[in-house]
C-alpha cells in the first residue's frame, strides 16, 4: 500500500467512498492521527456492516443495534479488518467525520486536523498481528507525508473524547505499536 500524496488515496487497498466527509478548513494542516475501533454488530467481525454504515446503507431491521445508529452520518479515513485488509472511505486530504466533539491539547474539533483509522475490534478483545502490521504500514506512509505527526500526536479516540469514548480500549497494545514505529525511525 502506498499513499498518493496528491490525492490522499492509498493504492493497494479497497476504496469504498463515503458521502460523510467535507473539506478541511482552508489552510488547516493535518497534524494528528486518531486510532478507533468498531465492529458491527458489536463484537461481530467480517460482516461488511462497517462499510455499509460509513456509506449510510445500514439496514436498521437487520439487527436491533443498527436501529440505534443508522441515523448517524459518520466515517473514517481508513478501516483495518481482522485479517489486515484495509478499506479507505475518505481521502486523507478531506475531513472525515470520525472524532465528533473532541479536543487535543488546546484545540477542539479534531476532525479538522486529524486522520482517523478504525480497527475492526472491541475495547476488550485483542487485535490481530495482521492489524498491527497494516496499521504500522499505514502510519509510516502517513507520517512520511505529514512528519509533524510524531509519536506524541498519535492517540486514541478515548484521548480526545474521554467523556464519550473508550476506544481503542485496553486491548490495544500501545507499547507494541509505538515500539514498531520507533524501531522504524531508528533504522531511518
Cβ neighbours of residue 14 closer than 8 Å, sequence gap 6 or more: 85, 86, 87, 88
In the set 62, 106, 108, 118, the catalytic residue is: 118
Q: Are 158 and 100 in contact (CB under 8 A)?
A: no
Helix (H, G, I), strand (E, B) or coil at 62: coil
Helices (H), 32-165: 49-54, 64-69, 129-145, 157-160
**CA-wise closest residue to 25 among 93, 80, 76:** 93
Residue in the structure block whose three cell numbers are 454488530: 41
Cβ neighbours of residue 84 closer than 8 Å, sequence gap 6 or more: 128, 130, 131, 133, 134
Reply yes or no on whether 136 is catalytic.
Answer: no
The whole-angstrom separation of Cα 68 and Cα 22 is: 24
Q: What residues are annotated to the active site?
A: 118
Amino acid at each position: 500500500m502506498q499513499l498518493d500524496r496528491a490525492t490522499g488515496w492509498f493504492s493497494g487497498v479497497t476504496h469504498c467512498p463515503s458521502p460523510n466527509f467535507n473539506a478541511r478548513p482552508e489552510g488547516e494542516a493535518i497534524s494528528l492521527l486518531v486510532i478507533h475501533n468498531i465492529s458491527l454488530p458489536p463484537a461481530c467481525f467480517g460482516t461488511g456492516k462497517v462499510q455499509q454504515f460509513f456509506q449510510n446503507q445500514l439496514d436498521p431491521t437487520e439487527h436491533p443495534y443498527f436501529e440505534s445508529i443508522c441515523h448517524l452520518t459518520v466515517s473514517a479515513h481508513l478501516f483495518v479488518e481482522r485479517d489486515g485488509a484495509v478499506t479507505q472511505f475518505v481521502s486523507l486530504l478531506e475531513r472525515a467525520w470520525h472524532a465528533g466533539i473532541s479536543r487535543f491539547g488546546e484545540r477542539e474539533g479534531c476532525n479538522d486536523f486529524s486522520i482517523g483509522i478504525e480497527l475492526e475490534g472491541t475495547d476488550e478483545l485483542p487485535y490481530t498481528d495482521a492489524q498491527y502490521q497494516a496499521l504500522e504500514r499505514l502510519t509510516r506512509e502517513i507520517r512520511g507525508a505529514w512528519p509533524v505527526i510524531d509519536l506524541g500526536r498519535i492517540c486514541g479516540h478515548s484521548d480526545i473524547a474521554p467523556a464519550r469514548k473508550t476506544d481503542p480500549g485496553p486491548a490495544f497494545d500501545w507499547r507494541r505499536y509505538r515500539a514498531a514505529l520507533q524501531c522504524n525511525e531508528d533504522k531511518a
